[in-house]
Amino acid sequence: MANFAYEVFSTVVAQHTFYQAAATLNVTPSAVSHSINQLEKELGFPLFIRNRSGVELTSDGRQVLPYVQEILNTESNLRQVADNIQGLHSGSVRIGGFSSVCINWLPRIIREFNHQYPDIKISVMQGNFNEITNWAKIGTIDIGFTSMPVNENLLVHSLINDPIYCVTPADFIPENGEYITTDDVADKNFILQQSDYDRDTKLALDHYHVTNNFLRFSIDDQSIISMVESGLGMGILPQLALRKLTGDVNTFAFAEPYNREIALVANKTQATAPSTAMMIRAIKQFLTKEYPDQMLWQ
């Protein structure tokens, strides 16, 4: 099977220190250090920059990482295929998701999947759209939920169009009583997450002439609701994010409707793994039931 040094290398990247990598692998820190030194000697260049807080990849290390991850993923696939031939249905699935997917979709998807495949290990990493796409690209995760467009060489399935709404204090009513126009948001402050100020959210704000001068950045979706509730500004959030948020606020559609297109991305190597393929099917089945009239993936 694959060189143990590759597993050590991948674990150090994930844990950021030799000590934490050693604890994860249940070996000594000196064993980790020796393994990395041997791999660097074998490759002919340093993989990590050591500092007081831990380690970070060199530019050469960043180039090597996707290839090492692909070797490890391919080996994992081989083991899964062998286990499935024997009827064991083992393996693992690493999922990346942004906040509202982790809150609203993944708990139910994973619960149903675990009931059907109890021996398959599931792990979840939460991140923003760009992080999730990059994790799938380098093989850190097997599948991920992100927002279109996706420009990386990945397997991509569009899932649903998620409408974007304006969130206002409870005492605010648009001039027409139904939807937000440019006049309604003129000179109004908007509160949103820094990571959300791109893609479809930025398109909507640009269309309504909301500039950086009227933007405040918050920590998460619930804190946006709390700040809007306190009269500090307006928010802009997609329908999925609003599902489990609470607060004394109003939500209105924009006169010019905007959506974000949620997509499933998969590392092409890992998409062929039996456990990953089963999870992808489970996700499609779940969303087809949840959004029978909105599902884009046919």
pLDDT of residue 191: 83
Q: Produce one character per residue of 261-279: b if its CB has 16 or more CB atoms within 10 Å, e if not.
A: bbbbbbbebbbbbbbbbbb
Cis peptide before 66 (omega within 30 of 0): no
Q: How far apart are CA 7 and CA 248, in angstroms?
A: 50
- The tokens 């060489």 sit on which residue? 153
Is the domain covering 161-258 a CATH 3.40.190.10 domain?
yes
How many residues belong to the chain? 298
Q: How far apart are CA 19 and CA 63, in angstroms?
A: 24
pTM over cut 0.75: no
- pLDDT tens digits, residue range 55-83? 889 999 888 898 888 888 788 777 777 77
Task: Please answer whether residues 278 and 117 qualify as being in contact, where contact means their C-beta atoms are separated by less than 8 angstroms.
Answer: yes
The CA distances from residue 146 to 32, 44, 137, 149, 282, in Å, are 34, 37, 13, 9, 17
Q: How far apart are CA 166 and CA 164, in angstroms?
A: 7
Task: Please answer whether residues 61 and 92 qualify as being in contact, where contact means their C-beta atoms are separated by less than 8 angstroms.
Answer: no
Q: Is 101 helix (H, G, I), strand (E, B) or coil?
A: helix
Q: In this structure, what token pair is assigned to residue 51?
A: 């500092």
Task: Please answer whether residues 10 and 47 qualify as being in contact, where contact means their C-beta atoms are separated by less than 8 angstroms.
Answer: no
Q: Which residues pair with 155 in a beta bridge?
A: 266
pLDDT of residue 90: 67
Q: What CATH code is assigned to 1-88?
A: 1.10.10.10
- pLDDT tens digits, residue range 259-279? 889 999 998 878 888 889 889
pLDDT of residue 29: 84
Q: How far apart are CA 114 and CA 79, in angstroms?
A: 20
pLDDT of residue 236: 86
pLDDT of residue 67: 87
Domain boundaries, the chain: 1-88, 161-258
DSSP secondary structure letter of residue 92: E
The CA distances from residue 5 to 10, 37, 44, 98, 185, in Å, are 9, 9, 15, 31, 56
pLDDT of residue 233: 87
**Segments of the chain with pLDDT less than 50:** 1, 88
